[in-house]
Amino acid sequence: MIKVDNLSFSYYNSSETLKEISFNIPKGKWISIIGHNGSGKSTLSKLLVGLLEPQKGTITIDDLEINENNLAEVRRKIGIVFQNPDNQFVGVTVKHDIAFGLENQQIPKNEMIERIHHYAKLVGMEEYLDKEPQQLSGGQKQRVAIAASLAMEQEVIIFDEATSMLDPEGVLEISELIYKLNKEHEKTIITITHDLDFASKSDYILVLNEGNLVLQGTPLEVFKEEKILIDARLKLPYSLRLYHDIKKSGHEINKKLVDALWAYNLKK
């Protein structure tokens, strides 16, 4: 679905933010991109949706190599939900917000109304269609942003730290929705996060450190590489930290308990 080949990027007048990155994302998978602050995660997500242009290398989405002439087509395939729910609400009401992208694509009115209702229902916001943004919680605003992306029928959705400004209830709400979109609606999902516990639920993890892709693999493969994760200034998942602390305190810890902790960590 997504093929990134030898991608490099620098902002004006600064050193390389992304350095010769290559990876593939198969259709229907859930991938997490993890890394400390400033490691290049958001830059990568902006490149993937065509908001920034690669200086070297290529990005191909569903057989379409992104270039400045096909951005409208790219946006029909891939969408993004950002961190701050307030910065991405463009309509005066929920209904208008979901309609915005559809109007840009000149979708016929009947189909537009149908899609608005269908996707608002899917994210549990159908009863809020006439509400204004200030009447919604952060989690509800993010659900509207997700509905707007779904209404465009984009196959890939990137969540760029999309739960980091939400309260615990909002985090759970959006996490469950991400899981449902991937498993029940077969969307290809990319979550950008520095939360390894959250990333452990995805199918595959990419680890960025100072603009380099230093590790990639399944959660099980990635969490075995503790040194690389620690060097990348990432906080290990809770179950691993607990395991190390028990061992450090001199207590016996048997293989069965370690297996149970792993299984707990990877539980969806």
Ligand X SMILES: Nc1ncnc2c1ncn2[C@@H]1O[C@H](COP(=O)(O)OP(=O)(O)OP(=O)(O)O)[C@@H](O)[C@H]1O
Residue whose token pair is 């379409």: 64
Residue from the set 30, 31, 39, 234 that interacts with ligand X by CB under 6 A: 39
Contact call for residue 163 and ligand X (CB under 6 A):
no
Q: Nearer Cβ to ligand X, position 99 or 166?
A: 166
Residue from the set 22, 27, 38, 104 that interacts with ligand X by CB under 6 A: 38
Contact call for residue 42 and ligand X (CB under 6 A):
yes
Residue from the set 19, 21, 30, 40 that interacts with ligand X by CB under 6 A: 40
**Alpha helix (H) ranges present in the chain?**
41-48, 71-77, 94-104, 109-122, 138-151, 168-183, 196-199, 219-223, 226-231, 238-248, 255-266
Residue from the set 1, 4, 7, 17 that interacts with ligand X by CB under 6 A: 17
Query: And the tokens for 213?
Result: 């892709």
Shortest gap between Cβ of 162 and ligand X (angstroms)?
Answer: 12
The contact mask relative to ligand X for 108-137 (x = CB under 6 A, - = no) is ------------------------------
Q: Which of residues 74-103 bind ligand X (CB under 6 A)?
A: none
Q: Which of 213, 265, 214, 268 minimizes the C-alpha distance to 240?
A: 265
Query: And the tokens for 261?
Result: 């902790």
Contact call for residue 19 and ligand X (CB under 6 A):
no
Number of residues that bind ligand X (CB under 6 A): 12
- Phi then psi for residue 83, to 5 deg, are -65, -50
Q: Nearer Cβ to ligand X, position 211 or 219?
A: 211
Strand order in the sheet with 16-25: 16-25, 2-10, 56-61, 64-65
- Note whether 78 and 93 are within 8 A (CB): no
The contact mask relative to ligand X for 194-233 (x = CB under 6 A, - = no) is x---------------------------------------
Q: Which of 205, 261, 195 minimizes the C-alpha distance to 234?
A: 195
Binding positions for ligand X, rule: CB under 6 A: 11, 14, 17, 35, 37-43, 194
